[in-house]
Each structure stands twice: as structure tokens, then as C-alpha cells.
Amino acid sequence: MAATTVPAPVEIGRSGEHDLRVVWGDHHESIYPARALRLACPCAACVDEMSGRALLDPASVPVHVHPVRVGLVGRYAVHLAFSDGHASGIFSFERLRALCPCPACRPV
């Protein structure tokens, strides 16, 4: 397995009541809207493993869903358990950084 190409998180916590805040090793700060993270879950229950087609119905995800547990998976990923009972999502550091919604990462 190749080494990660993005810095590892140095701090992970809440931002406000529902969102997730990650400070990366390069000092970049990412604030992830919790529902957007839930909808982006890459697990096999949410995304068809063969086709990549989304299986998760966005209407089934509560508006105020939020992470209830956050943990590291080795030195390559973050595990999120959500308030809607979903707990099988593992976000690699690369995927999580690619999902960063800040203006610097999502130029218009």
C-alpha cells in the first residue's frame, strides 16, 4: 500500500453543534458539514462496490445527522459513526481532504 499523499490530521473535533473540524499536518483547516459527510460515505452499504453507484437515498438521512464517534484507522483513515446509526464508513485521509468544502479547495 502506498503512503498517503496528504498530511495526516493533527486535530479532529467538532465545529459547532453538528459539523466536523479537521486540522491537517500542513495547518490547513477543514470544516465538514456533517450531513454532507454522511452522504459521502464510501462504505459498501452506501455505494455499490462494483459500479460505484450510490445506494444511499439522501431522503433517508436526517437533516441534523452528526458524528457521534470519530476515530483513527491506522495512519491512513478516519472512522465515523453517525447519529442515524450508520457506523461502517471509513474515510481515507485522501478522500477526506478531497471532500474539503473550503474556498481554497473548491475554487469557483
In this structure, are strands 77-82 and 9-15 parallel, antiparallel, or unpaired?
A: unpaired
76-102 pLDDT per residue, tens? 999 999 999 999 989 999 999 999 999
Q: CATH number of the domain that 55 lies in? A: 3.30.2020.30
Residue 60 is assigned to a structural domain of this protein: yes
26-80 pLDDT per residue, tens? 999 999 999 999 999 999 999 999 999 999 999 999 999 999 999 999 999 999 9
Checking if the pLDDT of 4 tops 90, the result is no
89 — phi, psi (to 5°)?
A: -85, 130
Residue 65 is assigned to a structural domain of this protein: yes
- Say what the pLDDT of residue 3 is: 52
Domain housing 73: 9-98
Number of structural domains (the chain) is 1
CA–CA gap between residue 33 and residue 25 (Å, rounded) = 21
